[in-house]
A and B are shown apart, each in its own frame.
Chain A
Amino acid sequence: MSELTIDPYDITVKSNGLRRRRIVEKVFGVLAISSAVLACGILVVVLGTLVVKGFSSLSLDFFTKARPLYGEQGGIADALIGSALIVGMAMLIAIPISVLVAIYMSEYAGPRVARALKIVLDVLNGVPAIVVGIFVFGILVVGHGQSAVYGAFALAILMLPMVARATQEILEIVPRSLRDASFALGVTKWRTTWSIVLPAAIGGILTGVVIAVARVAGETAPLLFTTSIAANQVSLDVHGALPTLPVLIFVNSESPDPGEQSAAWAAALVLIAFVLVMNILAKLFAGRKRRQLEGS
């Protein structure tokens, strides 16, 4: 009987072009790693540039004084207060409606209606911010003039799908058993939703809200048509147009004046610090709450 000879080199290296396959595998690995490095590198470069160009302009005056009219020293207090007021009003409008929409989807609607609503919200989320700005311009600003309230309304439209989807997703992982236990005790549906389901999901809802706030705080497009033409002074009058951080950065970024550009860098540093802190908070919060819910 002839012996079957197996040469390991033959089947592992020579056959099937294994050398070529190994090279492809290596190239793939290197490309994947460099893509990730590139993405992280861009983040580091952008943040680094903001710190380098913006940090030197930060001072107490920068936060407490309004923008200068001519050349003299000034700050961005007017835009900070405008942004805070507008985002605050947007939250007041968007959060209750968003949570109610999510409650309807997860507690009341049948699977078909819920799926349809999910698509509606996702499509609404895909409407460009500038189109939302034009919409609010068309229904409110035309005939009434610009106002901080209209800006808040535009931002609320952008927040609605984000908060509603985040809330609905967290409501869906609230265990069925919690609701059943409550029903078994004779508690009505709305009471169960209000005092059992919502408290169990509050962490997830807050995460969604925080991320949405971080997103809309930096939105410029919806504010251009609703609250962009304002005096550079601290004002609490929400019926008039108020200055905001994003519009300030947008206008100053296209200005040839180096003084205005450096104000834009510093304002951008303030804005991104806020956005990053919100995002990191949301992340910490979400991780903890999700583990709790899934653990129970």
Chain B
Amino acid sequence: MTSTTYENPAAPETDLRRRGIRIGDLLFKGIAIAAALAATILLGWIAFKVFDLAWPAIQDFGLSFIWTEAWDPVTQQFGALIFIYGTVVTSLIALVLATPLSIAIALFLTEIAPRRLAAPIATMVELLAAIPSVVLGLWGILVFGPWVTQHLDPWIQDTPLGLLPIFSGTPSAGGSIFTAGLVLTIMIIPITSAICRELFIRVPKDLTDGALALGSTRWEAIRGVMFAYAAPGIAAAVLLGLGRAFGEAIAVNQTIGNHNAIPSSWFEAGDSLGSKVASEYVGATSLAQASSILYLAAILMVISLATNVVAQFIVVRFERARRAV
């Protein structure tokens, strides 16, 4: 029998090298941790800094700024209500129109379309999301907006909906709350429908098959099984779309008409939080006006952060519940 003695040729250096390796490992881990910390701190810093910037205005105007309906640089009267109204109404128009459309598109892609057709259509819907907001706004202000005021608005006024005060009045030529809402609809459809599509793909096939085997039609299986299974996810998708609509400044600025008042009709011009902040970039004329712009930015940040955090919260709970099943 031969006994093999194993000799480590690198023995003398091992200690030193291992220490070097450990330092490399620690260094890399340290840099990675630092990067992760930086991202977290950045989020907190943004929230803090925007509030810090708005603080003089918050002290000056107090909380009543939020429900004051005024924006007059001459008399130094400032309030956010006009812009909160514009933000909320345009985003709600987008929400109401985009949610059923997005769900229908997602269902078409997952349930109806043959695979060969579904892939290119899904790509086209994704490309819709890739259009920069400033380009969509350019189309919105020069092509789509005039079409809405000349054709769509009068058409709506001819239907029974025209009796509602929000659809009354002469459509304004230079952009309106309604036009901005429609442009936002186009912007959030791809976001919401992409998330819904992922959700519908992940619904277990046995569940829908079971419903179909019991004699339900495809729509009944979708309504009774898929929607029930994916409901929290759909809610999160809708909220993420809404958060995007709240925060959009550029396309809204181009299409809403930029008018410092709450219009009685949605076919008239108004303004939104993001849009107002964006239009003041060249420099406000007085300190009070500059800081009130920052106050608007702070309100916008709170609204969209709250929407996003709620959406994330739903996603986390949804995923935990699905893992437990």
Interface residues of A (CB under 8 A from B): 21-22, 24-25, 28-29, 31-33, 35-36, 38-40, 42-43, 46, 49-50, 97, 100-101, 103-105, 107-109, 115, 117, 119-124, 126-132, 134-135, 138-139, 157, 160-161, 164, 188-191, 193-194, 214-215, 217-221, 224-225, 228-229, 246, 249-250, 253-254, 261, 264-265, 268, 271-272, 275-276, 279, 283
Interface-central residue, A128, A220, A229, by most chain B CB under 10 Å: A128
User: For the complex, what is the distance from the CA of A220 to the CA of B28, rounded to whole Å?
Assistant: 36
Q: Which residue of A25, A107, A164 is within 8 Å of B219 (Cβ)? A: A25
Query: Which of B25, B29, B32, B43 has a CB less than 8 Å from the CB of A124?
Result: B43
Q: Is the CB of B193 within 8 A of A120?
A: no
Query: Which range holds the interface residue count of chain B?
Result: 35 or more
Q: A250, B250: Cβ atoms under 8 Å?
A: yes
Q: Are B32 and A101 in contact (CB under 8 A)?
A: yes
Q: Which of A40, A121, A127, A131 contacts B121 (CB 8 A)?
A: A40
> Which listed residue (B105, B217, B277, B304) contacts A39, Cβ 8 A?
B105
Interface of B toward A, CB cutoff 8 Å:
21, 24-25, 27-29, 31-36, 38-40, 42-43, 45-46, 49-50, 52-53, 100-101, 104-105, 107-109, 111-113, 121, 123-128, 130-139, 141-143, 186, 189-190, 193, 217-220, 222, 240, 243-244, 246-250, 253-254, 274, 277-278, 281-282, 294, 297, 300-301, 304-305, 307-309, 311-312, 316
**Are B240 and A134 neighbours in the complex by a CB distance under 8 Å?**
no
Give Cα A101–Cα B32 distance, bound, in whole angstroms.
Answer: 6
Give A49 to B33 CA distance when docked, in angstroms: 48
What would be 25 A-B contacts, judged by CB atoms less than 8 Å apart? A29-B112, A32-B104, A32-B105, A33-B108, A35-B101, A36-B109, A40-B121, A100-B35, A101-B39, A103-B32, A104-B36, A108-B33, A120-B43, A122-B308, A123-B309, A127-B247, A130-B250, A130-B297, A131-B304, A132-B46, A134-B277, A189-B25, A191-B24, A250-B137, A283-B123
B305 adjacent to A43 (CB under 8 Å): no
Asked if B134 contacts A115 (CB within 8 A), the reply is: no
Provide the residues of chain B in CB contact with A105, threshold 8 Å: 36
Given known A-B contacts A43-B124, A123-B309, A128-B246, A275 and B133 have beta carbons under 8 A apart: no
A103, A131, A229: the one contacting B297 at CB < 8 Å is A131
State how many angstroms separate the Cβ of B214 from the closest Cβ of chain A. Answer: 12
Closest to B185 in A: A42
Residues from chain A with Cβ under 8 Å of B244 in the complex = 126
Q: Helix, strand, loop or mixed for chain B's interface?
A: helix
A-B pairs with the 8 shortest C-beta distances? Answer: A218-B132, A128-B247, A126-B308, A190-B28, A100-B35, A104-B32, A35-B104, A224-B281
Contacts of B186 in A (CB 8 A): 42
